Structure 1
Amino acid sequence: MFSYSSLQQSNPLLMTMLLSSFVAIVGDVLSQTLTGSRDFHRVVIFALLGGLFFGPVLHYWYGIIGRFGVKLEKNHPTMPKVARVLCQVGLNQSVGAILINVGFIFSFYALTCLVRGQTFAFSTATTLVKSKMGTSLKANWSVWPLASFLNFLLVPAQYRVLFTQCVAALYNMLLSLIANS
């Protein structure tokens, strides 16, 4: 943990991007192993998604949620910790879930076009978002409310992204299965 902590303190965004890329690769390789497929381009797509999308988004989003929790504590000092955590989870699973899932589906399509040398069409991207959003949110809400609750309740702020990444290794496998269905 010491080297993770020191790297996270010295360059938190870069560390989160690298960790997100690694976790996305693990999730996609697990997904491909389960389905019996072998697609190197897909691994590259998920590596880029992790590093260029999930890493920065998680880095900044957890900062926003952390500041929201601090503000709640400051403005409502008698609010029980569990109530504050439930407010953070509510924000994360409403605004965060929708924005992150839209961004994931859109980015997945854009990176797929880039890596496979295909033409990007905005209309296709929006159609994909509309068709995959329900399934993606159901998957999100089957995993992340409990994980988020435990994360905000028990995990120190500097380790929240790391905790999220551990859960994300399995969740990315699920996202990969959804995105490639």
Structure 2
Amino acid sequence: MVVLSVLEKGAQTYNGCLYAQPLLTKALTSAFTAGLGDFLGQVITKEPNINLHSITRYASFGLIVTGPLAHNFYKMLDKVIPPYAWAAAWKRLLIDRLGFAPLLLFLSFYTLSRMEGKDHKVCIREVQMRYWTALKMNWKVWTPIQYININYIPQQYRSLFANVVAIFWIIYLTNKRRQAAAAAAAGNDKTQ
């Protein structure tokens, strides 16, 4: 009973925040879930020390990029292709999968690398090495999730729904980034 009461109070508070400040609420939610995803990724891979800078980078990206972009994308999507339009479900999914997903993935790879202090050329090279593989995985994992999200979840909750699922996606991405960094470091050790 206590758990249900806490969950109910949390849902009421979230809805109040969503009503009063939708963009800020979605940005903060995205920041929290992105940071949590990176933290869990570090725990799962048994990193010797929790990297707070990495968690901060992911949380900042969620706050500044993912939250606002998703909020505005979902609003725009409902205006451009209303739910009642002919073949709306498939049109909306195609816009998300072929437009929004590739853009957001590129921004995440590039921006997170820049936030690590890497220069433009290094960031572009890293994006080129990982982008296509990650985009194909994004299409496999996120396509059914986004079909449900953009067609059955009310607009005000789409960011929250995607953020909860994104925790697991970020765990995947952070582990791929760490594997690539370890491989690059091992390659540099061999050439020296």
- For residue 68 of structure 1, report the CA deviation from its aligned partner: 2.1
Contact persistence 1:20–1:50 (CA under 8 A): yes
How big is the shift at 1:52? 1.4
Distance 2:173 2:95 in 1: 21
For structure 1, the 5+ residue unaligned runs are: 114-119
Contact 1:48-1:111 at 8 Å conserved across structures: no
Query: Which residue of structure 1 lines up, in the alignment, with residue 170 of structure 2?
Result: 172
**Structure 1 length as normaliser, TM-score?**
0.86
Cα deviation for residue 140 of structure 1 reads 1.0
Contact 2:26–2:71 (8 Å) recurs in 1: yes
State the partner residue of 1:98: 102
**What is aligned with 2:52?**
40
| Correspondence for 2:22 among 7, 12, 25 | 12
Q: Count matched residues.
A: 167
Aligned partners of 1:87, 1:172: CA distance in 2, in Å? 26
**Runs of 4+ more than 3 Å apart:** none
Over the residues paired in the alignment, what is the CA RMSD in angstroms? Answer: 1.5
Structure 1 residue 6: Cα displacement:
1.7
Q: CA deviation at 1:64?
A: 1.8
8 Å CA contact 1:102–1:129 kept in 2: the answer is yes
Deviations 1:74-122 (A, max 9, x none): xx4xx2xxx3111111110001111111111111111111xxxxxx421
Structure 2 CA distance for aligned equivalents of residues 32 and 146 of structure 1? 27
> Equivalences for 1:67-78 in 2 at 5 Å?
67-70=79-82, 73=84, 76=85
Cα distance in structure 2, aligned partners of 1:30 and 1:180:
13
Once the 2 structures are TM-superposed, how far is the Cα of residue 154 of structure 1 from its aligned partner?
1.7
Q: d(CA) in 2 for partners of 1:53 and 1:179? A: 19
* Residue matched to 1:128: 126
* Alignment-derived partner of residue 117 in structure 1: none
Corresponding residue of 2:36: 26
- Report % sequence identity: 25
CA distance in 2, matches of 1:60, 1:28: 24
Q: CA deviation at 1:11?
A: 1.1
Tell me the distance in 1 between the aligned counterparts of 2:69 and 2:177: 19
Secondary structure of the structure 2 residue equivalent to 1:180: helix
**Could you tell me which residue of structure 1 aligns to residue 67 of structure 2?**
55
- The question of whether the paired residues in 2 share the 8 Å contact of 1:49 and 1:111 is answered with no
Give, in angstroms, the shift of residue 142 of structure 1.
2.2
Conserved 8 A contact 1:151-1:163: yes
Q: CA deviation at 1:152?
A: 2.1
Whether the 8 Å CA contact 2:34–2:170 is kept in 1: the answer is yes
Unaligned runs of 5+ in 2: 1-10, 180-192
Could you tell me how far 1:69 is from its partner in structure 2?
A: 2.3
